[in-house]
Amino acid sequence: MALPPLVEPATELTKDEVERYSRHLIIPDVGMDGQKRLKNAKVLVVGAGGLGSPALLYLAAAGVGTLGIVEFDVVDSSNLQRQIIHGVSDVDRPKGESARDSIREVNPYVDVRLHNERLTSDNVLDIFRDYDLILDGTDNFATRYLVNDAAVILGKPYVWGSIFRFEGQASVFWEDAPNGLGLNYRDLYPEPPPPGMVPSCAEGGVLGVLCASIGSIMVNEAVKLITGIGEPLLGRLVIYDALETTWRQVKIRKDPETPKITELIDYEAFCGTVSDDAQQAAAGNTITALELKEMIDAGKDFQLIDVREQHEYDIVNIPGATLIPKDRILSGEALSEISQDKPVVLHCKSGGRSAEALAALHKAGFSDAVHVGGGVLSWAKQVDPSLPTY
């Protein structure tokens, strides 16, 4: 079911704008009226990363008049495999500034507004308030629930996308949608998964081109909502499998058990980025990469265990480490491979997974086990800068 246009049309298009958007204007469903609505629209994109990159470029090319960008990170060389809005010369620059400059190259008629800050419960309502539509391209559950709840409180629609390895998902959420169609992200995912259950893209990887596939869908939904054409993905979840090149849809219905959202909460605590057990295990049982180096140089006899996956170990590893993936430790399968008579040191990529494995070892009786804060990334940064990072 089509929804009413989200935005009123601008007064006019200039001669240059008519020429620029002519391929839109000759589509009867869009026409002058639709393009004027795009010109008058204010769209906020949360994140200028994998999904935000194609989304921002295509929103700009489509003629969205005002684009906001929420982004606090800087460009890293590992971003360039998928975050196409940034280039080699942008490495170490703030992502928001890099994205702004690329947008200006694509369409100088777009007003770009930067919000160079981390989105929090303290600032989200003020940032969202001036925009008609939100696009959520974030990669963590805490921010996803924050975006959802803020959009519900303000009555804003938002387009959501998610990517992991070869699979992408997209939908539209709008609690206050007309005709009784309203629902929000919590109707699909009432609660976040347990800490460590779902790897992030930084842990599990993502096919670069998948970002373009899902980012383009998100922009398509934004255009439909703004102009009032077509049938938006409200109430539908689209799932794309890039390996099989298949698309499927899942119906989403309003869950009567979903609590009414009236205020913002502590989303880090709600999502439990690291479990309470892991936090307790790591407290007082964390060593630095430099301390690990001192143990090795002193010839201490201990077992160093890498709890990442084989493909990560193949990229970079700490000399002398034995690979025992975290899941084998959590299931108890690998406990017989862990030394009972000498100290045990765990590490992962950055410290989160090793903390979870550490908690499991402590419960199994390995009370003296410790882990390396910052993981192999800290080792590469502080001990051996010649090693690659990922």
Residues with catalytic roles:
201, 348
SS3 12: coil
Enumerate residues 6+ apart whose C-beta is below 8 A from 186.
145, 148, 255, 258, 259, 261
Distance (Å, whole) CA 291 – CA 286: 10
Q: In what order do the strands lie in the sheet with 167-173?
A: 111-115, 66-70, 42-46, 133-136, 158-164, 167-173, 236-241, 246-251
Structure tokens at 381: 């940064």
Structure tokens at 107: 């369409």
Angle in degrees, CA 208, 212, 217, rounded to 5: 145
Enumerate residues 6+ apart whose C-beta is below 8 A from 276.
none
Distances (CA, A) of 356 to 178, 224, 270: 44, 43, 17
Q: Which of 157, 150, 162 is nearest to 120 (CA)?
A: 150
Per DSSP, helices labelled H in 21-51 are: 22-25, 31-40
Question: 250-258: long-range contacts (C-beta < 8 A, 24 or more apart)?
Answer: 252/171, 252/183, 252/187, 252/188, 253/183, 253/187, 254/182, 254/183, 254/187, 255/183, 255/186, 255/187, 255/190, 257/190, 258/184, 258/186, 258/187, 258/190
Whether the Cβ atoms of residue 294 and residue 372 lie closer than 8 Å to each other: no
Strand partners, 170: 161, 238
Task: State phi, psi for 68 to the nearest 5 degrees.
Answer: -100, 145
Distances (CA, A) of 38 to 92, 216, 347, 376: 33, 16, 49, 46
